[in-house]
Amino acid sequence: MTNSIEEIEFTDAILAIGTNTTENHPVIGSCVKRAIRQRGAKLIVIDPRKIGLVDYADIWLRPTPGTNVAVLNGLINVIIDEGLYAKEYVAERTEGFEAMKKAVAKYTPGHVEKITGIPADNLRTAARIYAEAKSASILYAMGITQHSHGTDNVKSCANLAMLCGNVGIEGGGVNPLRGQNNVQGACDMGALPNVFPAYQQVANDDARARFEKAWDVSLPAKPGLTIMEIMDAAHKGDIKGLYIMGENPMISDPDLTHVEASLKNLEILVVQDIFLNETGQLADVVLPSACFAEKDGTFSNTERRVQRIRKAVEAPGEAKADWQIISELATKMGYAMQYASAEEVMNEINTVAPSYAGITYGRIEEGGLQWPCPNVEHPGTKYLHRDKFSRGLGLFTAIEYRPSEEVPDKEYPFFLTTGRVLYHFHTATMTRRSEGLVERCPESLAEINPKDAEKLKIKNGDFVTVTSRRGSLKVKASVVETPPEGTIFMNFHFSEAAVNLLTNPALDPVGKIPEYKVCAVKVEAA
């Protein structure tokens, strides 16, 4: 997030796009609802599904799945057309406005209505609410990123926010809500193929030289493969050994059939986890990890706040903390990693990751600090781009709407869109072992609109067969108004109805994120 969670409560308008906040980030959902109920903040919801926040919205735009770029360009078009944009801010702090303006010119409300199904007047109303607010915050999540045009979606959000002077101010911002507890931290720490900790490029000679010195070893300059590329390479036999820590690609990756074949093709698969999950079952070696309650460390939340976890109970059997396992294995392989505690690892991070330099265990004992925090006197950074953008001027990007890779046709007439539900998390290895959560949500359900159910002659609770070009599965139908006609929604928590047998591995060319939010399926009574 460019801004902080607490700022949501003091902003004048919130635009929530592609985020089912009350289920996926429930506490932020509560902040949004409080802003509305207690201070009269305005809420714009943009989502094909009738999500929980819709009940609190001043206006709800319901686009056809996969058409967010057209919606955002449409909002921008109206704001420019009606002269509602922050002219001074655009002139002083940004560049590329003219090209962007030209690109959105054809996205008139009428044209956008044709692409997205959103009535032109609703688009205008939403544009005015966003533009006229003193400060307005854009919240988004996987509904923006998990598309073959995810990067375009993100850039379009940035265009809209900059246009109205909402970046670099309190209560504003472009705020991605991270799904998993430490996605932010995993990226910050360089668990990415192209960057070292704190986003220093591996291909950059100076950066590499710094790490070679710090780690006393020579380092490869060529950026590595992304997760989807790793799977492909394993399939081809180019990747022969794979070490997986704390992930379960056998449920979370798109096109599971392909993933399974890839993993089976390896010479060695090492899986390190707290449970023997679906991926571990294919492993040659499985290493038992301690869970978050059994070790010390830090997580970085979605607002860049680095917070402590603390050892509260003993790990079962011989399980060890992941940091310990990696250190011991490295030492075994002839590269000494000797750390007496997680804190000692953080001390090293402080010296190699400039944005974390001032974040020490001593300072975060009573509460987290937000990076960038360049030294131990620095109070941390509540919101980014305050006086200028990281790159100097904020850059508008001219973006054209592109349809999703796979849209419904005669044979596969439904949109399938995927996501999470309130009571489960990711591949549910943890939540399905919690009695209360299972009580509340015991099984996978495919949400289907009553009108579609009627056509297919199915009732609530009936089983349906859902088939895509990649696979087929049986799942219980939940007949509800949440999805629009022609769209079904499934979660990816349950391995019995592993929705990623169906999803499309089409990737965003830049973000390399699979298109989980849109593919085409057929639905039949089972």
Partner 1 sequence: MDQKLSLTINGTTIEASPGQTILEVARENDIHIPTLCYYKGTTNVGACRVCVVEVENARSLVASCCMPVSQGMVVMTDTERVLTARKLVVELLWSSGDHNCLQCEKNGNCELQDLVYELGIEKPSFEIAPPSYAVEDTNSMIQRDLNKCILCGRCVRVCNEIQVHEVLDFSMRGSHAKVGPAFDEDYIESTCVFCGSCVDACPVGALTFKQARFKGRPWEIEKVRTTCPYCGVGCQMDLNISDGKVIKVTTNRDYGTPNQGMLCSKGRFGMNFIDSPDRLKTPLIRKNGELKEASWEEAYDYIAKKLTAIKKKSGGDSIAGLSSARCTNEENYLFQKFMRAVIGTNNVDHCARL
Residue burial 253-281, b: 16+ Cβ < 10 Å; e: rest? bbbbebbbebbebbeebbbbbbeebbbbe
Dihedrals phi, psi of 2, to nearest 5 degrees:
-70, -25
Q: Where do the H-state alpha helices sit in 400-493?
A: 435-440, 450-456
Smallest distance from ligand SF4 to CB 334, Å:
40
Binders of ligand SF4 in range 230-249 (CB under 6 A): none
Shortest CB 285 distance to partner 1, Å: 5
* Residue window 1-40: x/- pattern of binding to partner 1, with contact defined by CB under 8 A: ---xxx-----------------xxxxx-x--xx--xx--
Using CB under 6 A as the binding rule, whether residue 26 contacts ligand SF4 is answered as yes
Judged by CB under 6 A, the stretch of 19-27, 33-41, 138-146, 281-289 that binds ligand SF4 is 19-27
C-alpha to C-alpha distance for 161 and 138, rounded to whole angstroms: 7
- Tell which one of 111, 210, 308, 402 touches partner 1 (CB under 8 A): 308
Residues with Cβ within 8 Å of 417's Cβ and at least 6 positions away in sequence, in order, are 48, 49, 65, 483, 487, 488, 489, 516, 517, 518
The partner in contact with residue 135, picked from partner 1, ligand SF4, none with C-beta cut-offs of 5 to 8 angstroms by kind, is none
* Residue 6 found at the interface with ligand SF4 (CB under 6 A): no
Min separation Cβ 433 and ligand SF4, Å = 16
Least Å distance between CB 186 and partner 1?
5
In this structure, which amino acid lies at residue 377?
E
Q: Is 499 helix (H, G, I), strand (E, B) or coil?
A: helix
The gap from C-alpha 56 to its chain's centroid, in whole angstroms, comes to 23
Report in angstroms how near the CB of residue 60 gets to partner 1 at its nearest.
18
Q: Which does 122 bind (CB under 5 to 8 A by kind): ligand SF4, partner 1, none?
A: none
Measured from the Cβ of residue 252, the count of other Cβ atoms closer than 10 Å reads 19
- The angle that helices 97-104 and 68-81 make with each other, rounded to 10 degrees, is 110
Give the contact letters, 330-359, x = binds to partner 1 (CB under 8 A), - = no: x-xxxx-x-x--x--xx-xx------x---
The one of partner 1, ligand SF4, none whose footprint includes residue 34, by CB under 5 to 8 A per kind, is partner 1
Count residues near partner 1 (CB under 8 A). Answer: 147
86 lines the binding site for partner 1 (CB under 8 A): no
Choose the stretch contacting ligand SF4; rule: CB under 6 A; options: 20-28, 35-43, 126-134, 376-384.
20-28
Residues 205-244, interacting with partner 1 (CB under 8 A): 211, 215, 217, 219-220, 222-227, 230, 233-234, 238-244
- Residue 336 engages ligand SF4 in binding (rule: CB under 6 A): no
Pairing of strands 487-491, 305-309: unpaired
Binding partner of residue 13 among ligand SF4, partner 1, none, CB under 5 to 8 Å per kind? none
- Could you list the beta-strand ranges (E) of 66-223: 94-95, 136-140, 174-176, 195-196, 200-201
* The one among 166, 298, 355, 467 contacting partner 1 by CB under 8 A: 298
Q: Which among partner 1, ligand SF4, none contacts residue 283 (Cβ within 5 to 8 A by kind)?
A: partner 1
Site for partner 1 in 258-297 (CB under 8 A): 267-268, 270, 273-276, 280-281, 283-289, 291-295, 297
Q: Are 425 and 431 in contact (CB under 8 A)?
A: yes
The stretch near ligand SF4 (CB under 6 A) out of 23-31, 212-220, 426-434, 479-487 is 23-31
Cβ proximity to partner 1: between 109 and 368 the closer is 368
161 in Cβ contact with 174 (< 8 Å): yes
Q: Does 193 bind partner 1 (CB under 8 A)?
A: yes
- Quick check: 27 binds ligand SF4 (CB under 6 A)? yes
Query: Least separation, in Å, of the C-beta of 362 and partner 1?
Result: 15
Q: What is the DSSP letter of 270?
A: E
Q: Which three-class secondary structure state does DSSP give residue 305?
A: strand
Smallest gap from Cβ 453 to ligand SF4, in A, equals: 29
At closest approach, how far in Å is the CB of 30 from ligand SF4?
A: 9
Cα angle value 283/288/293 (rounded, 5°)? 140
**Beta strands at 472-479 and 463-467: parallel, antiparallel or unpaired:** antiparallel
| CB distance 189 to 40 below 8 Å | no
Nearby residues of 39 by Cβ (< 8 Å), 6 or more positions away: 9, 10
* Region of 79-87, 96-104, 426-434, 447-455 interacting with partner 1 (CB under 8 A): 426-434
Give me the 151-190 binding string for partner 1, x by CB under 8 A, dash otherwise.
--------------------------xxxxxxxxxxxxxx
Does 483 sit behind a cis peptide bond, omega within 30 degrees of 0 on the bond before it?
A: no
Q: How many residues does the chain have?
A: 526
> Looking only at residues 418 through 477 of this chain, which bind ligand SF4 when binding is defined by CB under 6 A?
none
* Distance from chain centroid for Cα 62: 21
Which residue's beta carbon is nearest to the bound ligand SF4? 27
40, 83, 362, 367: which one contacts partner 1 (CB under 8 A)? 367
Q: Which is nearer to ligand SF4, 27 or 336 (CB)?
A: 27
User: Residue 196 binds which entry of partner 1, ligand SF4, none, with Cβ cut-offs from 5 to 8 Å by kind?
Assistant: partner 1
Element (H, E) at 271: strand 268-273
Report yes or no: 332 and 338 within 8 Å, Cβ to Cβ. no
**Is 176 in contact with 145 (CB distance < 8 Å)?**
yes
**Interacting residues with ligand SF4 (CB under 6 A):** 25-27
